[in-house]
A and B are shown apart, each in its own frame.
Chain A
Amino acid sequence: MARYVCKRVLLAIVTVFIITLITFFTMNAIPGGPFNSEKASSPQVRAALEKRYNLDKPLPEQYILYMGGLFQGDMGISTKTGRDIRQTITESFKVSAKIGGLAALLATIVGVIMGSIAALRRNTVIDRLIVFFSTLSTAVPSFVLATLLLYFFCIRLDWISVWDTENQNIILPVIALALYPTAYITRLTKTSMLDVLNQDYIRTARAKGVARPKVIFKHALRNALIPVITYVGPMLAYILTGSMVVESIFTIGGLGSKFVTGITNRDYPMIMGTTIFLAVLMVTMNLISDIVYKIVDPRITFD
C-alpha cells in the first residue's frame, strides 16, 4: 500500500512539474512577449515593465524565478488588471468550487440512484426511459445546455434571475454542469450493477436467505460502485473545463470565466497561474480517487 501511494505521488509530482514546464515555455514561445499587444506602450515603458516581470532575464532563469515565487504562493500580477493573481484565483475559486462541488455531488447521487433503478428494473419502461435520457444527455455539450437553460428559464419564462450578481441563483449552472456526469454515472452504474448481479457471490447471498433489499444494498451496490470511484477524476476534469463556458454564459465570476477572460485578453501570467492551479487540483483529485479505489477494492494488490 505505502509503495503504491509513493509511486502515485511521485507520478503526480512529475506530472505537475511537466505541466509547469509546458505552461511556462509555451507561454514564452509567443514571439515578442506579453507587452507587445499593448499598443500604447513606448519602448521605455515596455523595458521597465519587462524588468519588473523579470522578462529581461534568460528563459531558464525566468523559469526558476517563477517556480521560486510559485513555491511561496506568488503567482505574479495580471498584466491586464494589475491585480495579484493568487488573490484573484483564491477568490474566484470559492465561487467555482461551490458550483462544481454541488454539480459533482448531484451527478453522483442522481447517477447512482438512476443507474441502480435501471439495472434492477431491467427491460421495463423505467429502464428504457432512463437509458434514453442518459444517452441523449451525453450528446449535449455543456455550453449548449447552459445557453438553452438560460434562454428558457431566464429569458422566456423569467423564472430565475441570474443577473443579480450579489445573490446569484446557482441552480442553472449546477444543472448545466451536472447533466453530462449524471448521465455518464447512470450508464456506468447500470452496467456495473448488471455485471455484479450476475456474479456468483450474489447467488451465494440469495442462497443464504438474505432478503432482496439487503442483497442489493449490501452485497451488490458496494461492488457496483467501485467503477464509479474511478470516474471521480475525469468527472472533476469535465466539470472544471465545463465551468469555463458555463460560468461565462451565466456571467459568474468563477475561476473558469477568469480563465476564459485571460485567454481573450492574452493575460499570460493569469493563464499560467490558472492552468497550474487547475492542473494541480486535477492531478490531486485523480491521485485521491486512485488511492480510494485501491482501498475499497481489496482484491487489487498494491504494487
Chain B
Amino acid sequence: MSEDMPKKNPLSLQIDLKKFEPATEEEKKQQDVMSKSTTFFRDSMKKLFRNPLAVFSIIVLVLILLVIIFAPMIVPYGYSEMLKFNGTKDKTAMNLAPFTYSVNEQKYMAEHGVKLFPHIFGTDELSRDYFIRVVYGTRVSLAVGFFASLIVLVIGVLYGSISGYCGGRVDLIMMRIVDVIYSLPDMLVIILLSVVLKELLDGSTGIIAKLGTNMVSIFIVFGMLYWVGMARLVRGQILSVKENEYVLAAKSIGTKSSRIVRRHILPNCLSVIIITTALQIPSAIFTESFLSFIGLGVAAPMPSLGSLANNARQGMQSYPYKLMFPALTICLIVLALNLLGDGLRDALDPKLRK
C-alpha cells in the first residue's frame, strides 16, 4: 500500500458512534470459535466411518459373516454330504453348473411338483453341493485367520510388554531371542513343521483330530514364530512412551504407576495392537490357503478356501467357476481386511493426524 492517507474518512457521517463503545466480555467470547473437543476413541471411530473404503470393507465382512453363520442353517445340504437319490448316490449330480439340477432331481421335482433347494454354486466331482463347501471353507479360513491372530496377539503383547516394562538385562536377552526368531525364514519353518506335525498328530483323536492336524500345526507355528513382530512393536511402543515427557510429567506429579500404565501406556499401545492384529488376520488367511494349496492344509473332507482352489485346478478347463468361487472369496476377504486395517491405521495413528 502506498503512503497516502486512509481511503475511508473516519469522520464521515455514516459512521455509527455507538459502534465505538467498548465491547463486552460476552461479545468477545462469541468471537472465539473453538473446535469441539472429543475423546480419542470417538474421534477415531468418526474418522473410520468417514472413510468410504473402510465402511465398504466393514459391510463386506458383515455380509460374509452373516452368510457363513446362517447359510448352513438354510441350505439343506452338508459340506461332506454326497447328493443321494432314493438312497443311492445320485450319479447325475456330479459337476453341476450353478443353479442347475441333476437329471434325477428334475425328475423328482416334476413328479412331486415341489421345488428343491438350488445348488447355488453347482456341485463338485463327488456330487457335493459346492456352495455349502465354499461356505464351510470360508468358515475354516476365517477361523484360522482369527484364532491365529489371537494367538499372536496374546503371546506378542505379553512378551513385548514384559520385555519393554522390565528393560535392562531381561529386555536384552528377550530381544536377542526375538532377533533370532525374526531372522528365521518363517514360511519354510511353517512348511517343515506342518509336514512333521501332520505325521506326528495323524494318529491322535479327540479335539486335534476334529480340528485337523494341519490346523493345529498352523496354530502351533503361529504361536512359535509370528508373534515376534507384535512383540517388537509393543516393546518399542512401551519404551518410547516410557521416555515421553508426558509420562515423566505424570510421574513427577506423583501419579501411581498403575495409573500411568492405564492412562498413558495402554492407550498408546492399543492403536498399534489393533492395527497389527487387523493386518495379521489376512496374512494368516494367506498362509493357511497357501498351505492348503500345497496339500498341508485342513484334513479332507473339511474344505478350506485354499484346498477348494487346489482341487478345482484339475477340472479347470471344463469347470473354471469352481476355481473362481473360492479364489474370489479369498481375494474379497483379504481385500476387505486389508482396507479395514489401513482405515484403522489412518484413524488410530495420531501421528498421521492433521
Contact = CB atoms under 8 A, between A and B. Distances in A.
Contacts of A278: 185, 188
Given A241-B188, A278-B185, A283-B183, A29 B196 contact: yes
Interface string B314-346: 001100100100010011101100110000000
Given A144-B327, A147-B316, A15 B184 contact: yes
B179 interface: yes
Contacts of A144: 309, 323, 327, 330-331
A241 B295 contact: no
A275 B192 contact: yes
Contacts of B195: 263, 266, 271
A151 B323 CA distance: 10
Contacts of A140: 331
B189 interface: yes
B184 A141 contact: no
Contacts of B179: 11
A249 B313 contact: yes
A275 B334 CA distance: 28
B191 interface: yes
A27 to B, nearest CB: 7
Interface stretch (A96-104, A131-139, A198-206, A207-215): A131-139
A19 interface: yes
Nearest to B190: A241
Q: Which DSSP category, helix, strand, loop or mixed, fits chain B's interface?
A: helix
Given A31-B200, A139-B334, A155-B317, A244 B192 contact: no
Contact of A139 (B188, B294, B331): B331
Interface in A140-178: 140-141, 143-144, 147-148, 150-151, 155
Given A244-B294, A245-B293, A139 B316 contact: no
A118 to B, nearest CB: 15
Interface string B281-296: 0100010011001111
Given A26-B196, A279-B185, A143 B180 contact: no
A19 B294 contact: no
Interface string B80-107: 0000000000000000000000000000
Contacts of A283: 183, 185
B199 interface: yes
Interface residues of A, number: 45
B162 interface: no
Contacts of A49: none
B331 A22 contact: no
Contact of B192 (A18, A143, A271): A271
A237 interface: yes
B136 to A, nearest CB: 19
A123 interface: no
B183 A11 contact: yes
Contacts of A148: 323, 327
A58 to B, nearest CB: 20
A11 B332 CA distance: 39
B120 interface: no
A286 B179 CA distance: 13
A30 B293 contact: no
A139 B316 CA distance: 22
B200 A29 contact: yes
A88 interface: no
A12 B330 CA distance: 35
Contact of B309 (A143, A237, A248, A263): A143
Nearest to A29: B196
Nearest to B194: A263
A258 B289 CA distance: 20
B323 A147 contact: yes
Contacts of A30: 196, 199-200
B196 A27 contact: yes
B193 interface: yes
A10 B216 CA distance: 33
B71 interface: no
B192 A26 contact: yes
Interface in A249-291: 249, 259-260, 263-264, 266, 271, 275, 278-279, 282-283, 286
B143 to A, nearest CB: 18
Nearest to A7: B179
B180 A263 contact: no
Contacts of B323: 144, 147-148, 151
Nearest to B324: A148
A30 B196 CA distance: 6
Nearest to A274: B188
Interface in B114-169: none
A30 B193 CA distance: 11
B149 to A, nearest CB: 17
Contacts of B332: 139
A140 B338 CA distance: 12
B232 to A, nearest CB: 14
A244 B330 CA distance: 19
Interface string B252-296: 000000000000000000000000000000100010011001111
A239 to B, nearest CB: 11
Contacts of B186: 237
B211 interface: no
Given A26-B192, A30-B200, A151-B316, A260 B294 contact: yes
Contacts of A47: none
A249 B289 CA distance: 15
A23 interface: yes
B187 A241 contact: yes
A240 B190 CA distance: 14
Please give me the 4 A-B residue pairs with the lowest Cβ-Cβ distance, nearest first. Answer: A139-B335, A241-B187, A139-B334, A144-B327
6 contacts: A11-B183, A30-B196, A139-B282, A143-B293, A241-B187, A275-B191
